[in-house]
Structure 1
Amino acid sequence: MISEEIMKNDTLEAIIQEYLKPYVRKIDSEAYYAKKYLLELGKAGFYHSEQLSINEVLLREIAVVEKTAKYCMTTAFNLWCQLASMTYLRYSNNSYLKEEILPKLEKGELLGGTGLSNPMKFYGGMEELHLKATRTEGGYLVSGALPSVSNLDDNHWFGIVAEVEGAQRLMAYVCCDAEGLRLKEKIGYLGLNGSATYACQFKNVFIPEKWIISEDADTFIEQVRPAFVFYQIPLGLGVTAAAIRSIHRARAKQGGCNRYLPIQATELEQELEALQEQTYKLAGETNNFPSIWKELLQTRLDVVNLTSKAVHANMVHSGSAAYISKSDPARRLRESYFLINLTPTVRHLEKLLSR
């Protein structure tokens, strides 16, 4: 399987060891943005999609996110942003974006963010769209504000959805350097401060037609939202696997008394394996996305619950050593709370599943 090949890929492991693992604590405690790691993945070919099926690309990229999350969920989240960002362009009919921008993203020359937290909540009936667009010569003028967009920096790009006068909504790809766009870094979170997250203020930002992903965002979102959710699931799979590994390492603590705890590694491993199988099975059904949408949402919710269970168990099994703020179990605990609140959030998922 492609996923197994990726997990055992020596090149991926080498990139992790050089560009990610040494910086994990700096990412967590100093809001360090592991941009070099994300770029190296592209340079090594882990983003390319040419001559590959949607199925092959999805399976490979889910596996790369999962392996990254075993070391650092903050950076795996940045990777999710990059993959979701590329997905928008892969599905677009805009030749400029597909032929000029997408190849640079896939080669590790550019990085991108998603910008769709507010739109996804809008389509879930939870928020109004924050961005408004007005038609002008050669494109649109966009104004409004997005409270949080991640994986941004100079010369980065990200997706937006804006409401045009009337009932139309468009989706566009915007460069962080666009005139009239102001970015304000957001840190001070419980976790994931190294995610390069910014508040984005738009003031009559000109969006040329060559940046338009689709002028029918309502239909386009239906196409890309499965990948949007798929790439989130391995965030939890990777963190859960890391928590289980940590629990195993703590089994001899204080005379082996951890064996009396109600949640054991074996139980977590069985649940993790089942969710991994479900995830990769669903990812293989790319031609049948509408019929698996509810299953995909349920898997996303199940992985959040399992991750929460695993990291809490990891804290208990590790004892006092885990209660140091820079400890790995404490970092994973904080990361897991972000997964709960990542769009679609747990409450958003529960609403979608109730329909």
Structure 2
Amino acid sequence: MLDPVLQHWLEANAEALDQGRCDPQQVLGQLAAAKVLGVGVDPRQGGSGASVADAVETVASVASYSLAAAFVFWGQRAFIEYLLHSPNSALRERLLPSLLSGELAGATGLSNAMKFLSGIESLQVSATARGEQGWALNGRLHWVTNLRKGGFVVAAAIDRAEGGAPFVVAIPDGIAGVQRSPDLQLMGLQSSNTAALDFDQVALGRDWLLHEDARQFLPAVRPAFLGLQCGMAIGLARRALQEAQGHLQGVRSVLAQTLEAQRELLADVVSELKAGLLDGRFLGNPASLFKVRISLAEIVGEALQLELQASGGKAYLSEYGAGFARRWRESAFVPIVTPSLVQLRAELQRQARAA
């Protein structure tokens, strides 16, 4: 259960968050005050305990009110997960407290890297070594969420100009050569601090290194990266099915059986996701995680169709259907968030041919 204060804030501000009428700087503070950022983090490291599966449920709870807020939550919590997997304990100890408190925004920045891992895309940021001290970074990340203007740190996978294994770093804002674009003009999710980042001869020291080898690090964090992302779809699907249930009177009761079947399917897929995150099967078999992500996106689409059919024409009236219209826009984001369903299906096809 979410903190009631957070529930009320999300419910009251969901439309404004989606349309960009709510100050995006507020989102992390609200999440931090409700103590959700530390779910799945060891109490000895400042968290509230439980598992990454519980963190997925918490993302889902936020998404049932606002996908924009859940998108920010995912970015923050994914970056926290990177720190938890990094061998750089000094960096973890330096950044983790301010990330858990919401004072510092963490941006995943690894969407490009996850596509690189599957051979879909080359890395977009390269580094030239500067002796033993660090590197000079150049390149662009085209789409990054949670780049809060009040202070952020972004994770990025970096190609070595001189050759060798790519590596993963955390890059703080405010250093010379880091340029944030204006917020991208999205169809919704506007209060999510989503923008592009350019790097021009950015001098970065080795103390910001998350991992020496991206090809080792990325598969290790991919289950949490995608699992937490799945929380957004789960929460949206649950809310749409809940709203549909509330309209099943009279002739629309004909939808009850279909609605129950969708609920059962959603519960089964969520159980599969949680089991895979907890027992580690997704580490050696990422295809099974890709299939879960695809299934959840399809369920979201079906759930929104059910909400529309159960609501009838009322859903199309601005006076009554604002919540549905927002969820419809939110549902359009689920198939395209990186890795998109097209990219996942292409990867599954490639693996099938290679088998």
User: What's the TM-score, normalizing by structure 1?
Assistant: 0.89
2: distance between equivalents of 1:161 and 1:33? 30
Residue 228 (structure 1) aligned with residue 221 (structure 2)? no
1:171-186 aligned at under 5 Å gives the runs: 171-186=168-183
1: distance between equivalents of 2:257 and 2:348? 28
Matching residue of 1:293: 286
2: distance between equivalents of 1:91 and 1:30? 33
Pick from 305, 312, 325 the counterpart of residue 319 of structure 1.
312
1:103-114 aligned at under 5 Å gives the runs: 103-114=97-108
2: distance between equivalents of 1:99 and 1:246? 43
Contact between 2:7 and 2:65, CA under 8 Å: does it hold in 1?
no
Contact between 1:89 and 1:213, CA under 8 Å: does it hold in 2?
yes
Is the partner of 1:327 in helix, strand or coil? helix
Contact between 2:37 and 2:76, CA under 8 Å: does it hold in 1?
no
2: distance between equivalents of 1:102 and 1:257? 54
Instruction: Answer with 334-343 or 107-116: which moved more.
Output: 107-116
Matching residue of 2:122: 128
Contact between 2:56 and 2:231, CA under 8 Å: does it hold in 1?
yes
Write out per-residue CA displacement over residues 301-344 of structure 1, whole angstroms, 9 at most, x where no aligned residue. Answer: 10001001111221232223322467111111111111100111
1: distance between equivalents of 2:61 and 2:202? 38
Contact between 2:290 and 2:344, CA under 8 Å: does it hold in 1?
yes
Is the partner of 1:173 in helix, strand or coil? strand
* Alpha-carbon distance change, 140 to 263 in structure 1, aligned in 2, over 3 angstroms: farther
Gaps of 5+ in 2: none
- Give the deviation of 1:169 after TM superposition: 0.9
Matching residue of 2:185: 188
Residue 352 (structure 1) aligned with residue 334 (structure 2)? no
Matching residue of 1:219: 216
2: distance between equivalents of 1:109 and 1:50? 19
- Give the deviation of 1:14 after TM superposition: 1.9
Residue 331 (structure 1) aligned with residue 321 (structure 2)? no
- Give the deviation of 1:248 after TM superposition: 1.5
Residue 239 (structure 1) aligned with residue 229 (structure 2)? no
* Alpha-carbon distance change, 44 to 322 in structure 1, aligned in 2, over 3 angstroms: closer
Contact between 1:28 and 1:192, CA under 8 Å: does it hold in 2?
yes
* Alpha-carbon distance change, 117 to 263 in structure 1, aligned in 2, over 3 angstroms: farther
* Alpha-carbon distance change, 185 to 298 in structure 1, aligned in 2, over 3 angstroms: same
Residue 42 (structure 1) aligned with residue 32 (structure 2)? yes
* Identity among equivalent pairs (%): 27
- Give the deviation of 1:292 after TM superposition: 4.3
Pick from 75, 84, 93 the counterpart of residue 69 of structure 2.
75
Matching residue of 1:308: 301
Contact between 1:151 and 1:196, CA under 8 Å: does it hold in 2?
yes
Write out per-residue CA displacement over residues 157-203 of structure 1, whole angstroms, 9 at most, x where no aligned residue. Answer: 11011111213312111112222111112333222222210111111
* Alpha-carbon distance change, 206 to 329 in structure 1, aligned in 2, over 3 angstroms: same
Instruction: Answer with 86-95 or 290-299: which moved more.
Output: 290-299
- Number of residues paired by the alignment? 341
2: distance between equivalents of 1:17 and 1:33? 17
Residue 152 (structure 1) aligned with residue 158 (structure 2)? no
* Alpha-carbon distance change, 180 to 324 in structure 1, aligned in 2, over 3 angstroms: farther
Residue 63 (structure 1) aligned with residue 31 (structure 2)? no
Matching residue of 2:278: 284
- Give the deviation of 1:106 after TM superposition: 1.9
Is the partner of 2:32 in helix, strand or coil? helix
Structure 1 runs (4+) deviating above 6 angstroms are 52-55
2: distance between equivalents of 1:30 and 1:98? 32
Matching residue of 2:266: 272
Contact between 1:185 and 1:196, CA under 8 Å: does it hold in 2?
no
Instruction: Answer with 78-87 or 34-43: which moved more.
Output: 34-43
Contact between 1:39 and 1:111, CA under 8 Å: does it hold in 2?
no
Is the partner of 1:79 in helix, strand or coil? helix
Instruction: Answer with 229-238 or 292-301: which moved more.
Output: 292-301
Q: Which amino acid in structure 1 is aligned with residue 302 of structure 2?
A: K
Matching residue of 1:4: none
Q: Which amino acid in structure 2 is aligned with residue 312 of structure 1?
A: Q
- Give the deviation of 1:115 after TM superposition: 0.6
Contact between 2:3 and 2:34, CA under 8 Å: does it hold in 1?
no
* Alpha-carbon distance change, 251 to 332 in structure 1, aligned in 2, over 3 angstroms: same
1: distance between equivalents of 2:64 and 2:213? 37
Gaps of 5+ in 1: 1-7
